[in-house]
């Protein structure tokens, strides 16, 4: 908003979910009557009525947060495109790492492709380094070559940013004697250990409890943590670089109002030299003195059940790397991995995101996956696993009976994240090469087909989250 106010001498309004009803109404009224020239907002800003809308801009169009994941499931990017068509106005989708759907639309001639071939300002091209973690001595997720490189950049008076997309101290608390893991009973997933508050917290349903004194299975008091979180990374770096200030930015450290702004101000003024962050720090920020960015642990994305995980990793890598070398200083990006020869990584690092996108699209085409097919996901939730499964089995039988040629009915199967907040979760996936045929199949479906009142059924068309 500050950047727009500095650039445009017009009325600018802002819309997001933290506004109260009066503030929101005032923005709507100003937009409807033409008093505001620019509205900057999150996805729900699309529903604002404008007196004479002339242009829609969707920045970071690839970002998954444009998809509403509960209630009415819509995708703000796709809805924005429909709105622009109806109003006969241009829509600009901006991204350094466009979604594969958008890349495919460019290849098919549906979109005009505008390329910004140079980095903003006087920024130079990044230098990229891969550290093979195999046979390395690793200290709490950090290899010695990375620590040495950090030392070099810090001694020159520059800032260093470490990216780790896992908050808390450690993702698992276990018994060293018998291997028992302290799990959330509602989700059947390990609690995350938060050392600063001395609590165990479930990052799925929000439940928390005090740290146990002994094992819940064998009674041993030898409980240890395993895995790495941002809190632990902060402690390790405090011990290694005591002379430098560290800013840790994640949902826990910025929960109180004004905290995030305070951290960002300290970074801009050079009061913090080492920055640790989750996705909150990955994109959009301009830190001119950051010359080294490192991705600490991203290997799990290379072997995910979700076919979009590799696309998200490539986007994340480019976005995080973009925080380095944004001014005149030479920037470097370091990727720590056990799999430096993974074809995704080699294509991405050697040829860039566009080549990666084209290669991944070929794979998707060969496998008949989106954007070369269209999906609808039925999710069933119930306190009893069998009821959720039975409901989707009834649904699967119904779609088989429709005998729609080319319709794939996959499932029912347990969701990859099979229990959350005490609810068992099952899924049924419909897939077809034609959106029209898929819509035809869905139009025959009625909620009355499900005989159980205990089961909550959700339909997600074009799902992005298959967990």
Nearest to 321 by CA among 283, 288, 289, 350: 283
Q: Which residues pair with 457 in a beta bridge?
A: 380
- The per-residue b/e assignment along 296-306, b for 16 or more CB within 10 angstroms, e otherwise, is bbbeebbeeee
Q: Could you give the dihedral angle defined by the CA atoms of residues 65, 71, 74 and 75, in that order, rounded to the nearest 10 degrees?
A: 0
Which alpha helices (DSSP H) does 108-258 contain, by range?
144-155, 230-240
More confident residue, 58 or 134: 58
pLDDT score of 268: 82
Q: What values do phi and psi take at 266, rounded to 5?
A: -60, -40
Distance, in Å, from the CA atom of 328 to the CA atom of 339, rounded to the nearest integer, reads: 32
CATH of the structural domain 374-461, one choice from 3.40.50.1370, 3.40.50.1100, 3.40.1000.10, 3.30.70.600: 3.30.70.600
C-alpha 228: how far from its chain's center?
19
Mean pLDDT (whole number) for 368-385: 95
**pLDDT for the residue 120:** 67
The C-alpha atoms of residue 15 and residue 44 are separated, in whole angstroms, by 8
Give CA–CA dist 86/425, Å, rounded: 38
pLDDT at 24 over 90: yes
List, for residues 42-94, the tens digit of each pLDDT value. 999 999 999 999 999 999 999 999 999 888 899 999 999 999 999 999 999 99
Report whether 447 contacts 420 (CB < 8 A). no
Higher pLDDT, residue 344 or 57: 57
Residue 422, judged by CB atoms within 10 A of its CB (0-12, 13-18, 19+), counts as middle
Query: Quick one: how far is CA 212 from the chain centroid?
Result: 32
CA 345 to centroid of chain Cα atoms: 19
Query: Which of 3.20.20.140, 3.10.450.50, 3.40.50.300, 3.40.50.1370 would CATH assign to domain 2-107?
Result: 3.40.50.300
Say if CB 11 and CB 33 are below 8 A apart. no
pLDDT at 283 over 80: no
Provide the pLDDT for residue 111.
96
User: How far apart (Å, rounded) are the C-alpha atoms in residues 106 and 119?
Assistant: 22
CA angle 375, 381, 387 (to 5 degrees): 110
Measured CA to CA, the distance from residue 236 to residue 253 in angstroms comes to 17
pTM of the model: 0.84
CB contact at 8 A, 84 and 56: yes
Mean pLDDT of 127-141: 87
pLDDT at residue 266 tops 70? yes
Domain ranges in the chain with CATH number 3.30.70.600: 374-461
- What pLDDT band is residue 391 in, cutting at 50, 70 and 90? very high
- Looking at the DSSP assignment, which residues form a beta bridge with residue 409? 430
Instruction: Kindly tell me if the per-residue pLDDT of 313 is higher than 70.
Output: yes
pLDDT > 70? residue 122 = no
Q: β-pairing, 199-201 with 192-194? A: antiparallel
DSSP 53: -
d(CA 467, CA 465): 6
Q: How far is CA 389 from CA 69, 163, 294, 347, 402, in A?
A: 22, 39, 43, 41, 20
Contact present, 312 and 344 (Cβ < 8 Å): no
Residue 449 has pLDDT above 90, yes or no: no
Average pLDDT over residues 208-215: 89
Q: Where in the chain is the domain with CATH 3.40.50.300?
A: 2-107, 127-167+229-365
Strand-pair category, 290-295 with 159-163:
parallel
pLDDT value, residue 382: 94
Pairing of strands 183-184, 189-190: antiparallel
> Which CATH code, of 3.30.70.1520, 3.40.50.720, 3.40.50.300, 3.30.420.60, is assigned to 127-167+229-365?
3.40.50.300
Do residues 336 and 302 lie in contact, with contact meaning Cβ atoms separated by under 8 Å? Answer: no
Could you tell me which of 18, 58, 78 has the C-alpha nearest to residue 464?
78
Give the span between the Cα atoms of 232 and 225, in whole angstroms: 10
Q: Which residues share a beta bridge with 168?
A: none
């Amino acid at each position: 908003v500050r950047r727009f106010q500095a650039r445009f001498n017009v009325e600018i309004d802002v819309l997001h979910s933290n506004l109260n009803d009066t503030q929101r109404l005032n923005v709507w009224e100003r937009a409807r009557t033409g008093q505001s020239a620019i509205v900057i907002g999150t996805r729900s800003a699309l529903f604002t009525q404008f007196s004479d809308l002339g242009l829609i801009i969707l920045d970071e169009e690839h970002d998954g947060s444009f998809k509403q994941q509960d209630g009415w499931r819509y995708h703000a990017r796709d809805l924005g495109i429909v709105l622009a068509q109806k109003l006969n106005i241009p829509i600009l989708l901006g991204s350094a790492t466009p979604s594969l759907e958008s890349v495919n639309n460019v290849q098919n001639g549906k979109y005009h492709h505008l390329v910004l071939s140079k980095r903003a300002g006087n920024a130079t091209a990044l230098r990229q380094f891969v550290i093979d973690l195999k046979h390395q001595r690793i200290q709490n997720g950090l290899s010695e070559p990375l620590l040495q490189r950090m030392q070099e950049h810090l001694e020159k008076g520059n800032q260093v940013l470490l990216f780790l997309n896992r908050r808390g101290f450690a993702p698992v608390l276990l018994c060293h004697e018998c291997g028992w893991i302290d799990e959330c009973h509602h989700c059947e997933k390990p609690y995350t250990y938060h050392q600063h508050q001395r609590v165990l917290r479930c990052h799925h349903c929000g439940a928390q409890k005090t740290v146990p004194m002994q094992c819940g299975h064998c009674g041993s008091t030898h409980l240890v943590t395993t895995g790495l979180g941002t809190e632990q990374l902060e402690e390790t770096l405090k011990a290694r670089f005591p002379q430098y200030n560290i800013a840790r930015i994640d949902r826990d450290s910025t929960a109180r109002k004004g905290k995030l702004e305070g951290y960002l101000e300290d970074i801009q003024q050079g009061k913090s030299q080492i920055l640790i962050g989750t996705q909150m720090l990955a994109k959009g920020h301009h830190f001119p003195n950051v010359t080294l960015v490192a991705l600490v642990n991203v290997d799990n994305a290379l072997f995910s059940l979700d076919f979009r995980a590799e696309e998200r990793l490539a986007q994340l890598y480019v976005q995080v790397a973009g925080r380095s070398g944004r001014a005149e200083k030479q920037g470097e990006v370091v990727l720590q991995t056990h799999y430096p020869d993974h074809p995704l990584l080699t294509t991405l690092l050697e040829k860039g995101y566009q080549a990666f996108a084209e290669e991944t699209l070929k794979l998707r085409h060969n496998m008949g996956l989106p954007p070369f097919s269209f999906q609808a996901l039925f999710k069933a939730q119930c306190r009893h696993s069998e009821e959720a499964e039975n409901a989707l089995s009834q649904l699967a039988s119904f779609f088989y009976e429709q005998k729609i040629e080319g319709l794939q009915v996959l499932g029912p199967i347990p969701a990859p994240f099979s229990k959350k907040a005490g609810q068992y979760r099952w899924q049924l996936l419909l897939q077809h090469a034609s959106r029209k045929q898929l819509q035809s199949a869905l139009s025959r479906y009625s909620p009355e087909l499900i005989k159980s009142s205990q089961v909550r059924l959700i339909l997600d068309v074009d799902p992005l989250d298959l967990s």
